[in-house]
Amino acid sequence: ECPGTGSAQAGRAAACQGCPNQGLCAAGAAGPDPAEAAELRARLRAVRHTVLVLSGKGGVGKSTFSALLAHGLAADETKQVALLDIDICGPSIPKMMGLEGEQVHQSGSGWSPVYVEENLGVMSVGFLLSSPDDAVIWRGPKKNGLIKQFLRDVDWGEVDYLIVDTPPGTSDEHLSIVQYLSATHIDGAVIVTTPQEVSLQDVRKEINFCRKVKLPIIGVVENMSGFVCPKCKNESQIFPPTTGGAEKMCQNLNVSFLGKVPLDPQIGKSCDRGQSFLAEAPESPATLSYRNIIQRIQEYCEQRRLQEEKIM
Amino acid sequence: TLAERTNLAGVRHILLVLSGKGGVGKSTLSTELALALRSAGKRVGVLDVDLCGPSIPRMLRVQDSAVHQCDSGWVPVFVGQDKAIALMSIGFLLERPDDAVVWRGPKKNALIKQFVTDVAWGDLDFLIVDTPPGTSDEHISTVEALRPHQLLGAILVTTPQ
């Protein structure tokens, strides 16, 4: 039985003999050592709330959601928002935020995030590539190293909300971000899915991943949920929820259902153009859905804060 | 090894289905391609190396199947109307379908190597390899393991945006 790559026994237990991962686990490359954890804690001390955006499935709208969550939260100019894109192979955030071609600057206090607004800073491997078509063909350990650097070397400053956009799956990036951020605290994860069973199948795994690593689940968002034709106004299910969709899955798994977001072709267009869909299409039913969901996430974070203060 | 030389020796063409992006329809296309080639009378196999999100078993309606071993390695699951498409996926190795495979790269690499060399495919005209999104461990390991064999090429799938 694998003791777990993050455990103190990682690489050293009897069960580790013969595991191809043994060397890495024993060398601590699988997770942060105490000195590193302390360093990360110091660096992230001024971050009030951290939200991870996950899915098991690709192409369901994680990056779109992360970008709009960041825009939505930053609409309050008194809040400082940070968006960290740890999808190293397919970083979508720079394009979605209109920051393609931007480079990262170094300063005395570390790497400087790229600012979309004064109160909205972004970091992504996309900013480190010389060309947007450069493939980042890295194995796990190198990806982990970059994620650690993002957390340790980026000068985020005082941040009210740190949003972390992740790639699909339950692998190195996900394990690493949870392990490195365990040095501070994560409010929870928002899990994005589309209504069909092929997506839900992967999302159930993600929910189990969260439970396994004790990551609280803020809730599930069902994206691409219905399409309203702009001409005839009829609604179609492009991805029919053949097994009851996300709502039923949430009931079955006792997880909060945050809401449904319909398909709106304007969303994809805004993303391609690097503009905020919420700002470009304020009357769209999708905008209303996003805003409701963002508000629920804010309330969740505030509640947690209040509960913690009560305990203390 | 002898097993390595024989298990893929009977496979005429190996096709990879790739994208950088998730959710564009790789698994859907892999499934439809397999079914179409089979309809055209070809001997077809599908290898699903998406360890975190294996979709092929459900798409071919065999999500509840189990795999067995024989002398030359793992026996694939036979699917399709005439049970003639050979399928191997990590989906079959999970105790419960909702179990997350939370593995780091090195462990994924070990399994992929096994999948490529230890499945008793027999004689196939086409082996279709479905991959997860990205350009990481699974992709590197799959291409490395397949290089000594008849790797025909890759089909890339995308959506318009």
pLDDT of B63 reads 85
Is A235 contained in some domain? Answer: yes
Which CATH architecture best describes the domain B11-157? 3-Layer(aba) Sandwich (3.40)
Other beta carbons within 10 Å of B33: 18
Is A294 contained in some domain? Answer: yes
Low-confidence ranges of chain B (pLDDT < 70): 1-6
- What residues of chain A lie within 8 A of the CB of B27, using their CB? 198
pLDDT of A29 reads 46
Cα radius of gyration (chain B): 14
pLDDT of A130 reads 81
Is A41 contained in some domain? Answer: no
Digits of tens for pLDDT over chain A (312 positions)? 667 655 656 666 666 766 666 655 655 444 556 677 788 888 888 999 999 999 989 999 999 999 999 999 999 999 999 999 999 988 999 999 999 999 898 888 899 999 999 999 999 999 988 888 888 888 888 898 999 999 989 998 899 999 999 999 888 899 999 988 887 779 999 999 999 999 999 999 999 999 999 999 999 999 999 998 888 878 899 999 999 999 999 999 999 999 999 999 999 999 999 999 999 999 999 999 999 999 999 999 999 888 878 877
Shortest Cα distance, chain B CAs vs residue A68, angstroms: 18
* Residues contacting B8, CB < 8 A, separation 6+: B14, B116, B117, B121, B127, B146, B149, B150
Is A14 contained in some domain? Answer: no
pLDDT in tens, A201-259: 999 999 999 999 999 999 999 999 999 888 887 889 999 999 999 999 999 999 999 99
pLDDT of A32 reads 55
Q: How far apart are CA A180 and CA A295, in angstroms?
A: 27
Q: How far is CA A7 from the centre of its chain?
A: 24
In one-letter notation, the amino acid at residue A290 is: Y
Return the bridge partners of A264, or none. Answer: none
Domain count along chain A: 1
User: In this structure, what CATH number is given to the domain that contains residue A290?
Assistant: 3.40.50.300
Q: What is the ipTM of this complex?
A: 0.85
- What residues of chain A lie within 8 A of the CB of B104, using their CB? 5, 21, 24, 30, 140, 171-172, 175
pLDDT of A184 reads 74
Q: Which residue range forms the structural domain that includes residue A203? A: 46-311
Q: What one-character-per-residue DSSP string does A9-56 give?
A: TTTTSGGGTT-TTHHHHHTTTTS--HHHHHHHHHHTTTEEEEEEEE-S
Write out the two tokens for B52.
Answer: 């975190």
Roughly how many angstroms between the first and final C-alpha of chain B, as a whole number? 45
Q: Among B21, B99, B161, whose Cβ lies nearest the Cβ of A205? A: B99
CB B46 within 8 A of CB B36: no
pLDDT of A14 reads 67
Size of interface A-B (CB pairs under 8 A): 134
Q: How far apart are CA B44 and CA B11, in angstroms?
A: 9
- What residues of chain A lie within 8 A of the CB of B140, using their CB? 137, 139
CB A132 within 8 A of CB B130: no
β-strands B124-130, B11-18 pairing: parallel
Write out the two tokens for B51.
Answer: 């360890």
Is A36 contained in some domain? Answer: no
Cα dihedral value A32, A34, A35, A36, nearest 10:
20
In one-letter notation, the amino acid at residue A180 is: Y
Q: Among B21, B102, B140, whose Cβ lies nearest the Cβ of A90? A: B21
